[in-house]
Amino acid sequence: MARSLSVLLDGTPLLGARTGIGRYTAALSEELVSIPEVDTRAVAFTLRGWRRLRHVLPYGARARGMPVAARLLRMAWLRSDFPPVELFAGPTDVVHGTNFVLPGRFRAAGVVTIHDLAFLDNPAELAPSDRGLPELVRRGARRANVICTPTAAVADAVAERLDVSRDKIVVTPLGVNPAWFTARPPDDERRARLGLPSRYLLFAGAAGPRKGLDWLTRAHDAAPDLPDLVFAGPGPFPRGPRRSQTGYLSDVDLRTVVAGASALVLPSRDEGFGLPVLEAMASDVPVVCTDIPALREVAGECASLVPYGDVDGLAEALRTAVTDPHAVATSASRRAHAANFTWRTCAELTVGAYRLASGRH
């Protein structure tokens, strides 16, 4: 039997409304607590509200707080490993920074997940509180024993652009919750409550400059024959005729909204993984997305890929998805492809990264 391993996760992404990294942290923690040889704890880096962590962690994971403003911690960790996270959370074998930043450590091995490199390409788009993020991630990548990335595309980019050995990067693909495979379109009551049209194209995710929404709206405006466009997630989103937004959705509502779409579109200029692509496939919804390395890797042969910025190409791909839903992939091939990605596999690969980092592989 493998030796037990104590792991301390950055659970800060679990607080508040969860977008991609919050969902990753939640699913990973749920799987880790079911692996007997891993003792899972989580810490929240926030001056107020860290006590909420104990209410959002899965049963079996223990919560610790580091009651210091995250902004102050990041400023300190830009210069040194002080304060080490063990000072507040106690000794541990591995510290896992789940959200780009590797916390300061005393003796623990360090693992950090770098989800993408969008912050390097467009630093001007960072919030003022995140202006130090590029240097903080560079420093963490150098100091980490192991780096996790969601795709090989991101792993290759991290090795090249952050100047670290590819050998210390472990690819840990994200997973699809089994509930997506039984998702059903919204009934009349839910459709009315969420303000959904009878037929719609869907963008699911948080708004942001790298999501390609201006390109999407230009393509949609150029094709009046297409169904209405619905944005599901935290905005603000582009407004206009034949467009609507649902705001942030619960997991149950999101699954039904995705399952009811004529097609899902992810027009990002940059992605580290693109989980909505697989979730739509699991729901047997056609997918149109940007032809970029990470999305090519995740979508396989089961999505329509369009060069970023090609307005006519995007409009035509959406038109084909609506009129011939199985032009690119059959229902069976879409679902089978999505089924290859599980959170259990993500967790097992991550535990392998922990063992590698701590010298217990």
**pLDDT tens readout for residues 59-91:** 888 887 777 788 888 888 988 889 999 988 899
3-state secondary structure the chain: CCCCEEEEEECHHHCCCCCHHHHHHHHHHHHHCCCCCEEEEEEEECCCCHHHHHHHCCCCCEEEEECCCHHHHHHHHCCCCCCCCHHHHCCCCEEEECCCCCCCCCCCEEEEECCCCHHHHCHHHCCHHHCCHHHHHHHHHHHCCEEEECCHHHHHHHHHHCCCCHHHEEECCCCCCHHHHHCCCCCHHHHHHHCCCCCEEEEECCCCHHHCHHHHHHHHHCCCCCCEEEEECCCCCCCCCCEEEEECCCHHHHHHHHHCCCEEEECCCCCCCCHHHHHHHHCCCCEEEECCHHHHHHHCCCCEEECCCCHHHHHHHHHHHHHCCCCCCCHHHHHHHHHCCCHHHHHHHHHHHHHHHHCCC
pLDDT of residue 1: 46
pLDDT at res. 145 = 98
pLDDT of residue 125: 78
Q: What pLDDT does residue 361 have?
A: 60
Domains of the chain: 5-175+342-358 (3.40.50.2000), 178-339 (3.40.50.2000)
Torsion (CA) 268, 269, 274, 276 in degrees, nearest 10: 10
* pLDDT, tens digit (0-9, with 9 covering 90-100), for 134-165: 999 999 999 999 999 999 999 999 999 999 99
pLDDT, position 3: 66
Q: Could you give the CA distance from residue 15 to residue 13 in angstroms, rounded to a whole number? A: 5
Q: What length does the chain have?
A: 361
In this prediction, the residues of the chain whose per-residue pLDDT falls under 50 are 1
pTM here is 0.94
Please give the radius of gyration of the chain, using alpha carbons only, rounded to the nearest integer: 21
d(CA 43, CA 14): 10
- The reported pLDDT for the residue numbered 78 is 87
